[in-house]
């Protein structure tokens, strides 16, 4: 699921839900990698999934992570 697209486009979510229902599947929520980051490991843990533009820049990385969590929460509500 593309959470950015889901947060911006309710029809995207409805289509995904339609597919899940068709195949009798359930979409579960899981903690995004952003939510698992710890302050002392911030840079190391984010290198695998954060955009290269924020690598090695703790403040930008933190701001990016906060925004990702907001988008994920918004998408989960739909």
Consecutive sets of 10 residues in the chain, 78 residues long: mean pLDDT of each? 90 94 85 56 66 87 87 82
Q: Provide the domain limits for residue 67.
A: 3-77
Q: Under 8 Å CB-to-CB from 27, ≥6 apart: which residues? A: 1, 16, 17, 20
pTM (two decimals): 0.64
Report CA torsion sign: 5, 20, 32, 54: negative
Q: How many domains does the chain have?
A: 1
Provide the pLDDT for residue 38: 56
């Amino acid at each position: 699921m593309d959470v950015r697209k889901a947060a911006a486009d309710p029809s995207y979510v409805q289509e995904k839900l339609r597919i899940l229902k068709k195949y009798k599947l359930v979409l579960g929520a899981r903690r995004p990698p952003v939510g698992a980051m710890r302050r002392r490991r911030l840079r190391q843990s984010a290198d695998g999934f954060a955009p290269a533009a924020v690598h090695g820049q703790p403040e930008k990385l933190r701001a990016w992570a906060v925004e990702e969590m907001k988008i994920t929460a918004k998408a989960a509500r739909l």
